[in-house]
Chains A and B, each alone.
Chain A
Amino acid sequence: MSSQKIKIEGELLEKAKKCAEVSGYASVDEFVLHTIEKEIKRLSPDQGRTSESKEKVTKRLQGLGYIE
């Protein structure tokens, strides 16, 4: 399994630390990894299409009245 290190420094690092803290992440690493995962998922058409569960779709559509 390959790996890649990314260097974040200065103002960006400080902002990332702040965001990780207020969002409940255990560390900046965890926050950055999660952010990348989310963006990859969003940008991948196939991933994006299948990401919603049947339960979530059903729940959202129930308010139309026609679905139990």
Chain B
Amino acid sequence: MHSRRIQKLGLFLLLCATAVPLFSCQPRKWHGDRRLIILGIDGMDPQLLKQFMAEGKMPNFSTLAHKGSFRLLTTSIPPQSPVAWSNLITGMNAGGHGIFDFIHRDPHTLQPYFSASRVEPPKHGIHLGNWVIPLGGGRAEQLRQGKSFWETLDDYGVPNLIFRMPSNFPPVQAKGHALSGMGTPDLRGSYGTFSFYTDDPMTAAGVVEGGQIIPVEVKESQVAAKLIGPDNTFRKGSPPALEPFTVSIDPLESVAKFTVQDEKFVLREGEWSDWVHIQFQLVPFVGNVKGICRFYLKQAHPRFELYVSPINIDPADPALPISTPKSYSRELAEEVGEFYTQGISEDTKARSAGVLDDKEYLQQSRTVLAEHRQIFDIEFPKFHSGLFFFYFSSLDLNSHMLWRLIDPQHPEYDASLAAEYGTALPEFYQQIDQVLGEVLQRVDDHTTVLVLSDHGFAPYNRSFNLNTWLLNHGYITLKTEPSPDQSQVFANVDWSRTRAYGLGLNGLYLNLRGRERDGIVEPGAQADALLEQIKAELLSVSDPQNNLAAITRVDRASEVYQGPYSQQGPDLIVGYNRGYRAGWQTILGNFPADVFEDNSNPWSGDHCMDYTLVPGVLLSNRAIAVPNPALTDIAPTIFAEFGIPKPGSMMGHSVF
């Protein structure tokens, strides 16, 4: 009887020990001195890295590769940042975390939305008896599924800092310090909307790509204008909240004095302001939200031209949750000053719209990296044990924008601009090398360093308009008469005669009965045959300009995704050849006239293609045993470093 009790007790203890990773019923206290440092470098490309290392521009990367390991890192399907970082965060692919593309769609309405987070209209407010008057900045919801690796680290008491991890807005509730990254909106709820004020009658007023052109009048050297804030749902029609500011232009010198609420400052032409605080009053004396923005006086004379950055959430008093603990963003702001909180801080749209030129865009982009390095320099010395994860966006956004300056084959290559700014991208790489140098100085026997990127990069020379191709091949049918209501996506599509459609950067969906509102394709054999037919036809598409294959890989979701959300993404993932990408208009369901177009946008590099063509990088001070590591191996590697059993849901293995 006694021995049976001991047996039962032993069995119970064994069960409890193995159950910890699943149920966290008895979180362990971690007492180790192990340190793991991860630099997450969005978009660091292995080919460019090798080239810059060979040119002697990356001495610290060369040291790390020579003394430790350098591998290609298999990226996600498709190789888009929200998908890729979610693979890393959860150790699962898109079937497990539910992020399949930058853009998802509601199958019922086909309304597109950003896949990783959603800011909803306010659901709380002032109560007047039984009435609720909407108030405030709305509610933020993270859409990624699956447990983040740092939540598990918390379970085991491993200290951790997670700086600007993509697909983590609002940040998951965790014990460590975390600041949200890609996916964090500006104060207007968009992913970045700049303003440009000008009295130039030749500049068309109104909405432009990623921003707004606002006409102003210069009267006796004075400009009175308004900053545009969040929609004020308290007011009739929910107009945007506006706050006035004034500019006094020196009639002789190229200088102007700005008055924005309580702040006054002077800018010379070509000068950027520091962060300016702005408070939008939604309900007088009751509700307001705080933001920050930067002013750039592009021109004082003869025309007035003023760029104002998207209004960022103020980290010192955030209108939406951007950090854990909530006080962390405020503490950082107290230490380093205000900083960009918007997820994608580099204002690529202002450059694409021609509001900023290359020089001005680079100034803005370098400021973003300078802020990140400043925070790194504050946080890294405080790190003593556990995990330190720090994310840098600069290589990704600048590879997108500056590829045309390093690649003479790009249609937008300009030799004179290349001579002037062609060194900018390598210089951003060198700044990351300097950060790695700071890290390597602190490496000891208890420290593991991982430097990784989510994907590589490639030129984006030509657009492929998937929806136009589907239309031309009879998979989409348009209504005989255009819809009178053009306000919705796919407004002119006749869904009763449409079998497939494209949405997002790599997604192709069937118009499936029982899933799409007006689905006509029967699930099962009919859907399978149709998918195989479209896949074969897409793989045979060649660009009439050069006879190159535009698409080198098409994956069926059912073959590449595992997990509970496998059915919620696209049915086919279209993998474009190097040099190609989904066209700008097709992504949100439009039908440009031509299937192929030259890409004339300054956004000239990309990675949303065949995932085998754009692997990321993985470097470590330790020997990487796995020949072909993948992003899904990173979370298991982190757990192995701290002696934490790998949860069964994770598909990868430690790389060591």
Which residues on B sit within 8 Å (CB–CB) of A22?
283-284
Q: Are A65 and B349 in contact (CB under 8 A)?
A: yes
Q: Are B284 and A60 in contact (CB under 8 A)?
A: no
Write the A12-27 contact mask toward B (1 if CB under 8 angstroms, else 0).
1001100100111100
A19-46: which have CB < 8 Å to B? 19, 22-25, 30-32, 34-35, 38-39, 42, 46
Question: Which segment, of B104-112, B242-250, B377-385, B437-445, faces chain A?
Answer: B104-112
Which residues on A sit within 8 Å (CB–CB) of B103?
61, 66
Nearest CB in chain B: distance from A41 CB, A: 10
Which residues on A sit within 8 Å (CB–CB) of B310?
63
Give which listed residue, A11, A30, A35, A68, contacts B133 with CB less than 8 A: A35
Which residues on B sit within 8 Å (CB–CB) of A12?
128-129, 131
Which residues on B sit within 8 Å (CB–CB) of A3?
none
Which residues on B sit within 8 Å (CB–CB) of A16?
128, 131
Q: Are B129 and A62 in contact (CB under 8 A)?
A: no
Nearest CB in chain A: distance from B21 CB, A: 35
Nearest CB in chain A: distance from B654 CB, A: 33
Determine the distance from Cα of A53 to Cα of B109 in the docked complex, in whole angstroms. 12
Q: Are A67 and B584 in contact (CB under 8 A)?
A: yes
Determine the distance from Cα of A63 to Cα of B207 in the docked complex, in whole angstroms. 13
Nearest CB in chain A: distance from B105 CB, A: 10
Nearest residue in B to A58 (C-beta to C-beta)? B588
Which residues on A sit within 8 Å (CB–CB) of B106?
49
Determine the distance from Cα of A42 to Cα of B191 in the docked complex, in whole angstroms. 23
Is chain B's binding surface mostly helix, strand, loop or mixed? loop
Given contacts A63-B210, A65-B348, A66-B505, A54 and B487 within 8 Å (CB-CB)? yes
Q: Are B133 and A19 in contact (CB under 8 A)?
A: yes
Nearest residue in A to B310 (C-beta to C-beta)? A63
Which residues on A sit within 8 Å (CB–CB) of B191?
60-64
Determine the distance from Cα of A30 to Cα of B61 in the docked complex, in whole angstroms. 66
B192 at the A interface (CB under 8 A): yes
Write the B575-600 contact mask toward A (1 if CB under 8 angstroms, else 0).
00000000011011000000000000
B389 at the A interface (CB under 8 A): no
Chain B: interface residue total (CB-CB under 8 A): 54
Most buried by B among A23, A42, A65: A65
Q: Are A63 and B186 in contact (CB under 8 A)?
A: yes
Nearest residue in B to A60 (C-beta to C-beta)? B190
Nearest CB in chain A: distance from B194 CB, A: 9
Which residues on A sit within 8 Å (CB–CB) of B123?
42
Nearest CB in chain B: distance from A21 CB, A: 10
Nearest residue in B to A67 (C-beta to C-beta)? B587
A50 at the B interface (CB under 8 A): yes
Q: Are A23 and B236 in contact (CB under 8 A)?
A: yes
Q: Are A50 and B488 in contact (CB under 8 A)?
A: yes
Nearest CB in chain B: distance from A46 CB, A: 8
B209 at the A interface (CB under 8 A): yes
Q: Are A62 and B112 in contact (CB under 8 A)?
A: no
Q: Are A50 and B236 in contact (CB under 8 A)?
A: no
Which residues on A sit within 8 Å (CB–CB) of B275?
none
Given contacts A49-B109, A49-B111, A63-B186, A54 and B489 within 8 Å (CB-CB)? yes
Given contacts A23-B234, A23-B236, A64-B114, A57 and B588 within 8 Å (CB-CB)? yes
Which residues on B sit within 8 Å (CB–CB) of A42?
121, 123
Which residues on A sit within 8 Å (CB–CB) of B491?
54
Nearest residue in B to A16 (C-beta to C-beta)? B128
Nearest residue in A to B190 (C-beta to C-beta)? A60
Is chain A's binding surface mostly helix, strand, loop or mixed? helix
Q: Are B210 and A55 in contact (CB under 8 A)?
A: no
Nearest residue in A to B238 (C-beta to C-beta)? A38
Nearest residue in B to A65 (C-beta to C-beta)? B348
Nearest residue in B to A12 (C-beta to C-beta)? B129
Q: Are B128 and A19 in contact (CB under 8 A)?
A: yes
Give which listed residue, A15, A50, A60, A65, contacts B344 with CB less than 8 A: A65
Nearest CB in chain A: distance from B86 CB, A: 15
Which residues on A sit within 8 Å (CB–CB) of B109?
49-50
Nearest CB in chain A: distance from B387 CB, A: 28
B157 at the A interface (CB under 8 A): no
Nearest CB in chain A: distance from B287 CB, A: 11
B58 at the A interface (CB under 8 A): no
Q: Are A65 and B603 in contact (CB under 8 A)?
A: yes
Q: Are A25 and B236 in contact (CB under 8 A)?
A: yes
Determine the distance from Cα of A19 to Cα of B234 in the docked complex, in whole angstroms. 9
Q: Are B588 and A64 in contact (CB under 8 A)?
A: no
Nearest CB in chain A: distance from B359 CB, A: 20
Nearest residue in A to B505 (C-beta to C-beta)? A66
Which residues on A sit within 8 Å (CB–CB) of B487?
53-55
Nearest CB in chain A: distance from B240 CB, A: 12
Determine the distance from Cα of A50 to Cα of B193 in the docked complex, in whole angstroms. 23
30 A-B contacts (beta carbon < 8 Å): A15-B128, A16-B131, A19-B126, A19-B234, A24-B236, A31-B236, A34-B236, A38-B134, A42-B121, A46-B108, A49-B109, A50-B109, A50-B111, A54-B488, A57-B112, A58-B588, A60-B114, A61-B103, A61-B190, A61-B191, A62-B191, A62-B193, A63-B193, A64-B102, A64-B114, A65-B400, A66-B102, A66-B587, A68-B209, A68-B601
Given contacts A57-B113, A57-B489, 8 further A-B contacts (CB under 8 A): A12-B129, A15-B128, A35-B131, A57-B111, A63-B191, A63-B193, A64-B102, A68-B209
Q: Which 4 A-B pairs have the closest CB atoms?
A: A63-B192, A63-B191, A68-B584, A12-B129
Residues of A participating in the B interface, judged by any CB pair closer than 8 Å: 8, 11-12, 15-16, 19, 22-25, 30-32, 34-35, 38-39, 42, 46, 49-50, 52-55, 57-68
